């Protein structure tokens, strides 16, 4: 992919290991070369909680894996760890997990983490980014692409300093932001290009997205910005319609990330 994400991890002051009654168990933090043992849930829990308090570059990746662990106690620890990271960009990950979580207790813990992370992001917010209309203006008929754009905006706009991201006026966070009289910027996006290029043994898709920024409630046009990304796979792999749709989604998401990464200053200025 042409665009890659970088994540800034901040740590909670809360001692999660102590909260689980495991502060006296000493287990090395996970590293890519040291996968967690699935045979001992207690060890796995401590590993995840210690990892959440570390600055390890693989912390988020391992905690996301923990959300899908077969053991409920491990999934609870992973949700607690993701809250401890203090990074609002994990909220979409937690929301997706909550939508498929079968355990009521685990789902409750995930939802608590979401609420606390959203509150923390609101406390430090300078303005609101509201996700507006997302449209596919290309000839590629993939009905999932507007939703891919919305999800990507929701994920990557959380990295914009001072921004709190909301779905719309019905969002509880939107209402709380209104109580603080935070300025609201609405982002309308369009997928303007999604081109395919075939080469020997390789197929590449390149995407370009464009965004219009409006300031609510006056709907004043504040500016535009754009971004692009590309990705490739083998012709054989793309014979699968599922993989083809995945690749298209990946490059569109990368284009959105690229656009938002370059728009931080413009959004901050537009909010004033």
Asked whether residue 150 falls in the same domain as residue 26, the answer is no
**Do 142 and 256 belong together in one domain?**
yes
Q: Which pLDDT does position 53 carry in this prediction?
A: 82
Q: pLDDT tens-digit profile of 50-65?
A: 888 885 778 888 999 9
Supply the pLDDT for residue 87: 79
Kindly state whether residues 56 and 133 are assigned to the same domain.
no
pLDDT of residue 20: 38
Residue corresponding to tokens 């019905």: 170
CATH code, domain carrying 249: 3.40.50.10610
How many CB atoms are located within 10 Å of the residue 217 CB? 9
Query: Are 96 and 171 found together in one domain?
Result: no
What is residue 100's three-state secondary structure? helix
The phi, psi pair for 212, rounded to 5°, reads -110, 135
Q: Torsion angle of alpha carbons 234, 245, 61, 102, nearest 10°? A: -140
Q: Looking at residue 68, what is its pLDDT?
A: 93
Out of 107, 122, 137, a domain closes at 122
Same-domain status, 144 and 110? no
pLDDT of residue 28: 36
Same structural domain, 143 and 266: yes
Is residue 10 in some structural domain? no
Among residues 231, 232, 229, 230, the alpha carbon closest in space to that of 259 is found at 229
Give the per-residue pLDDT at 175.
74
Give residues with Cβ within 8 angstroms of 166, minimum separation 6: 128, 129, 130, 131, 173, 174, 177
Q: Check whether residue 266 and residue 131 sit in a common domain.
A: yes
pLDDT at residue 36, as a whole number = 44
The pLDDT score that the predictor gives to residue 226 is: 93
Determine the pLDDT at residue 39: 52
CA–CA separation, 75 and 269 (whole Å):
40
pLDDT of residue 257: 92
Domain boundary among 103, 122, 141: 122
* pLDDT of res. 55: 58
Q: What is the pLDDT of residue 58?
A: 83
What is the SS3 assignment for 88?
helix
CATH number of the structural domain spanning residue 90 = 1.25.10
Average pLDDT, the chain: 81
What SS3 string covers 18-81? HHCCCCCCCCCCCECCECCCCCCHHHHHHHHHHHHHCCCCCHHHHHHHHCCCCCHHHHHHHHHH
Q: Enumerate residue ranges in the chain where pLDDT < 70.
A: 1-39, 55, 170, 172-173
Number of separate domains in the chain: 2
> What one-character DSSP code corresponds to residue 181?
T
Whether residue 30 is found in the same domain as residue 130: no
- The confidence score (pLDDT) of residue 41 equals 86
Q: Are residues 194 and 62 in the same domain?
A: no
Distances (CA, A) of 91 to 78, 105, 108, 157, 180: 13, 18, 14, 12, 22
Distance CA 57, CA 156 (A): 18
- Interatomic CA distance for residues 175 and 154, integer angstroms: 17
Supply the pLDDT for residue 2: 43
Residue 3 lies in a domain: no
Question: What range does the domain containing 233 cover?
Answer: 126-270
65 domain residue, yes or no? yes
Tens of pLDDT, residue by residue over 95-108, are 989 999 999 999 99
- Same domain (yes/no): 170, 230: yes
Ordered DSSP codes for 103-168: -HHHHHHHHHHHHHHHHHHHHT-SEEEEEEEEEE-SS---TTHHHHHHHHHHHHGGGSTTEEEESS
């Amino acid at each position: 992919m042409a665009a890659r994400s970088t994540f800034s991890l901040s740590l909670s002051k809360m001692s999660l290991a102590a909260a689980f009654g495991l502060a006296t168990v000493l287990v090395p933090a996970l590293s890519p070369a040291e996968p967690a043992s699935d045979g001992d849930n207690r060890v796995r829990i401590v590993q995840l909680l210690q990892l959440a308090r570390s600055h390890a570059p693989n912390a988020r990746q391992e905690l996301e894996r923990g959300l899908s662990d077969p053991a409920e106690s491990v999934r609870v620890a992973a949700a607690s760890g993701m809250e401890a990271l203090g990074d609002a960009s994990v909220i979409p990950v937690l929301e997706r997990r909550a939508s498929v979580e079968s355990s009521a207790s685990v789902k409750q813990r995930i939802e608590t983490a979401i609420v606390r992370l959203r509150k923390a992001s609101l406390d430090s917010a300078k303005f609101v980014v509201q996700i507006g209309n997302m449209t596919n203006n290309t000839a590629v008929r993939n009905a999932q692409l507007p939703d891919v754009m919305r999800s990507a905006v929701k994920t990557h706009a959380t990295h914009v300093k001072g921004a709190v991201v909301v779905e719309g006026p019905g969002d509880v966070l939107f209402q709380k932001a209104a109580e603080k009289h935070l300025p609201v910027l609405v982002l309308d996006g369009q997928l303007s290009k999604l081109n395919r290029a075939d080469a020997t043994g390789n197929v590449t898709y390149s995407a370009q997205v464009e965004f219009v920024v409006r300031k609510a409630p006056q709907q004043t046009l504040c500016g535009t910005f754009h971004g692009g990304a590309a990705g490739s796979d083998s012709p054989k792999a793309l014979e699968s319609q599922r993989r083809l749709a995945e690749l298209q989604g990946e490059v569109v998401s990368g284009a959105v990330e690229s656009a938002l990464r370059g728009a931080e200053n413009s959004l901050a200025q537009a909010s004033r």
